[in-house]
């Protein structure tokens, strides 16, 4: 097995940038040999028609998708949302449309950043208020598709009906 191929496997399996010393240690070789094999691998990727590349980042070397495919990542890879952003998204979904000022009253000032993130991910749409300085916020078709939610009103009706049944049993 070629040393460059072994390093390619190491980078693939680690799935994150690695320092040269860590690559050499995983492969059981010297740093010099690792560097030479990395350069060979980088050259291989540079000359093939591939969606992948070996990149030397500030964090180390990594096997990654070429920059030209970033739009695919946004469309295909599930978004990683923190708890705060998920709660903000839930508030927007439940009250959609909602004025951003009302959302900030509900969720606090951290919601400004969360709304920006949700807009970038395509889950929320912002529209300037006709009269006033705030924005209307509403969920998008991408939200419904991603979370597999057809009609929030149907879900809320079912949830509320379930709560009423729980109350009558008590």
Kindly state whether residue 42 falls inside one of the protein's structural domains.
Answer: yes
Q: How many domains does the chain have?
A: 2
State whether 87 and 65 are in the same domain.
no
Q: What is the DSSP letter of 78?
A: P
State whether 62 and 97 are in the same domain.
no
pLDDT at 133: 86
pLDDT at 73: 67
CATH of the domain at 9: 1.10.10.10
State whether 87 and 40 are in the same domain.
no
The answer to whether the pTM exceeds 0.95 is no
Range of the domain at 25: 3-69
Kindly state whether residue 13 falls inside one of the protein's structural domains.
Answer: yes
| C-alpha pair distances (Å), 72 with each of 49, 64, 67, 75, 77 | 17, 13, 10, 5, 8
pLDDT at 40: 95
Which of 45, 69, 93 terminates a domain? The answer is 69
Q: What is the pLDDT along the chain (170 residues), one digit of tens a residue?
A: 799 999 999 998 887 889 999 999 999 999 999 999 999 999 999 999 888 999 998 889 988 888 887 777 666 656 677 888 888 998 999 888 999 999 999 899 889 999 999 998 889 999 998 888 889 999 988 887 777 766 555 555 555 565 555 544 44
Kindly state whether residue 78 falls inside one of the protein's structural domains.
Answer: no
Alpha-carbon torsion (69, 75, 80, 85), positive or negative: positive
pLDDT at 1: 76
Contacts of residue 158, Cβ cutoff 8 Å, sequence gap at least 6: none
């Amino acid at each position: 097995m070629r040393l460059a191929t072994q390093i390619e496997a190491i980078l693939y399996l680690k799935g994150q940038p690695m320092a040269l010393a860590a690559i050499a240690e995983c492969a059981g070789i010297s740093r010099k040999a690792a560097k030479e094999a990395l350069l060979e691998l980088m050259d291989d990727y540079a000359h093939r028609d591939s969606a992948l590349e070996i990149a030397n980042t500030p964090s180390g070397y990594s096997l990654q998708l070429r920059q030209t495919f970033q739009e695919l990542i946004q469309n295909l890879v599930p978004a990683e949302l923190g708890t705060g952003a998920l709660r903000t998204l839930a508030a927007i979904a439940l009250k959609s449309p909602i004025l951003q000022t009302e959302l900030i009253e509900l969720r606090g000032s951290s919601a400004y950043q969360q709304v920006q993130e949700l807009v970038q991910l395509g889950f929320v749409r912002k529209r300037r208020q006709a009269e006033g300085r705030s924005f209307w916020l509403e969920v998008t078709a991408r939200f419904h598709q991603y979370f597999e939610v057809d009609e929030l009103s149907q879900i809320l009706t079912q949830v509320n009906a379930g709560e009423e049944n729980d109350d009558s049993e008590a």
